[in-house]
Structure 1
Amino acid sequence: MSALMVYSYWLGTVCCMAAGIVFSSLSAVLAVVNSATTPIWTITGVPGLYLWNIVSILFQSGAVALWVTLYFRKLQFSIMTSDDRWSTEGRAFFGLSFWLVVASIGVQIINVIFIYSATSDMRQKKKAAKPVIEEKTNGAIMLY
């Protein structure tokens, strides 16, 4: 297999995709949990949603980068063995599965934007909330 592909790039692509799928699934489950309840821990709350989505984006981007590198190093050239007398020179292209991974990165980015816009009212309430300060003026103090 090493003559056909660079094994470390292929293995890195598979590992990055597996990790990206795991973190995407985790963020989806935690999004459902966050919509149903108010989580106690930060890692399962809104900051956790940011974390898991961004980690998923990073792993999926790593998989895309590794696959593009593998494509330009090996796959765009003939990957058939010379004994078969077949050539795939110039016929290789990025398939549907590659573009689906690129689209999933876009969907994850849109998800982070949705989380940011959905929690903007919470950020504004925190800024607007001012502590109540009791001012005791001379006329307000009543002695009995």
Structure 2
Amino acid sequence: MKLNLFKRSMIFATFFGSCLCIALIVASLGTTHWVDARARRLSNPTESEGRISFGLFEGRKELNFAYGWRNYDLSVKAGTHPARRWSWCGTAAQLAVALAASGGACVLAALGSAARNRCSPKPLLICNCAIILFTMGAMSVWLTEFFLRLQHNVMSDEDLANTWSSDSTADLGLSFWLVVTACISAFVNNVCILIAMADGRDADTIAPALEEKVNGAIMLY
């Protein structure tokens, strides 16, 4: 009961897709561009300017009061992160599960493509489904926070008191779209797995027919 070359190739292709998922999720967790925003002071909008970028755990805020730039660090530890605790915690937790599922998918893809005997690709399919589920969950949590809060304001109470505003200037940054790409990669993996599962040209179906022909030839002699 051996796998044919086509099935091995399709399963092995998911190994690279799973590695890509790992790289994308790790990059999204480590970069600080989940949201990029601009800011102005309502009291002097033509002379002031601000740039804010942050990830799930930290970020950076640069404000120009018309007499030079001032840089500030945004951090979860310091309590200066613009997003609320439930949003970055929920997003990070689901990405951690998706990362673990990606690692499992890598191992299963390597073992499945290297195994001489046929093994069920269902565990591999389940791992990739988990990646899709939890990356979509992470995106949903972050999008909820973005549309409810972050697109309207990423400034601190002190900045708001100084008439700074970022209303309608925030955009989803590169880090967020890395997660979207990881979700798409896992979906492509599932397509490859389903194609491999649907292909019926296993060696174990070919071998009995060949054996029957050989036995028939022997009987003729």
Runs of 4+ in 1 over 6 A off after TM superposition: none
Partner in structure 2 of residue 115 of structure 1: 193
Following superposition, the deviation at residue 114 of structure 1 comes to 0.5
**1:8-47 deviation per Cα after TM superposition (whole angstroms, max 9, x unaligned):** 122110100111111012101210111111579x7xx411
Matched, 1:71 2:146: yes
Please list, as runs of the form range in 1=range in 2, the aligned pairs for 1:1-144 lying within 5 A after superposition.
1=79, 4-38=82-116, 45-84=120-159, 85=162, 86-122=164-200
| 2:80 and 2:156 in contact (8 A); partners too | no
The size of the alignment, in residue pairs, is 126
| 1:4 and 1:79 in contact (8 A); partners too | yes
- Which residue identity does 2:186 align to in structure 1? Q
- Provide closer, same or farther for how the CA distance between residues 53 and 38 of structure 1 changes in structure 2, counting only shifts above 3 A: farther
Using the alignment, how far apart are the partners of 1:102 and 1:3 within structure 2? 23
Residue identity over aligned pairs, in percent, reads 32
- Provide closer, same or farther for how the CA distance between residues 3 and 114 of structure 1 changes in structure 2, counting only shifts above 3 A: closer
Using the alignment, how far apart are the partners of 2:192 and 2:80 within structure 1? 43
Following superposition, the deviation at residue 119 of structure 1 comes to 2.5
- Provide closer, same or farther for how the CA distance between residues 3 and 55 of structure 1 changes in structure 2, counting only shifts above 3 A: closer
Using the alignment, how far apart are the partners of 1:54 and 1:27 within structure 2? 10
Using the alignment, how far apart are the partners of 1:3 and 1:121 within structure 2? 50
**Structure 2: any 5+ residue segments left out of the alignment?**
1-78, 209-221
Partner in structure 2 of residue 136 of structure 1: none
| 1:10 and 1:70 in contact (8 A); partners too | no
RMSD of the alignment, in Å? 2.8
SS, match of residue 79 in structure 1: coil
SS, match of residue 80 in structure 1: coil
Partner in structure 2 of residue 141 of structure 1: none
Q: TM-score, normalised by structure 1?
A: 0.75
Following superposition, the deviation at residue 3 of structure 1 comes to 8.8
- Provide closer, same or farther for how the CA distance between residues 30 and 12 of structure 1 changes in structure 2, counting only shifts above 3 A: same
**1:87-113 deviation per Cα after TM superposition (whole angstroms, max 9, x unaligned):** 222211010111111111111111100
Asked which structure has the greater RCO (Cα within 8 Å, sep 6+), the reply is 2
Q: TM-score, normalised by structure 2?
A: 0.50
Using the alignment, how far apart are the partners of 2:93 and 2:145 within structure 1? 15
